[in-house]
Amino acid sequence: MSRPYYRPMPGTWWLTNRAYFLFMVRELTSVFIAIYLVLLLILINRIAAGPDAYRAYVTLLASPGMLAFHLIALAGALYHSITWFSLAPRGLAVRLGERRVPDAIIAGSNFAAWVVATLVIAWIVL
């Protein structure tokens, strides 16, 4: 006679070990990025509304709460970028002739592209 014992996962499963916790952190970075995008859209809207609206919004962005948010969002965005580029090679099996391109090269070129993109945007804006 068989009566199997079931062990369901608790709702706090992602707090039980480091790997699961970092996974959840990685997923939640998208929330901070999304909130930032809304703020960016508001910024563009304020630019459209004229110099006074723009300056008022930039002053608001200088408030401690906003700066704190952006620092956290920046940390989140950086974590997203690092994990994304490290995992990207998994989805692609790029082959050069007979041999598969090593993951490290694909990841490396992703990071290089990231540096280039960052420098280009910074150069254009500043």
Q: Which residues bind other proteins (CB under 8 A)?
A: 1-7, 9, 11, 13-14, 16-17, 19-20, 23-24, 27-28, 30-31, 33-34, 36-41, 43-45, 47-48, 51, 54-55, 58-59, 61-62, 66-67, 69-71, 73-74, 77-78, 80-81, 84-85, 87, 90-93, 98, 100, 113-114, 117-118, 121-122, 124-126
In this structure, which amino acid lies at residue 23?
F
> Taking the complex as a whole, how short is the minimal distance between the CB of residue 102 and other proteins, in angstroms?
13
Q: Is the dihedral of CA 25, 26, 27, 31 positive or negative?
A: positive
**The tokens of 106 are what?**
């694909």
Instruction: Tell me the DSSP string of 10-31.
Output: PTTGGGSSHHHHHHHHHHHHHH
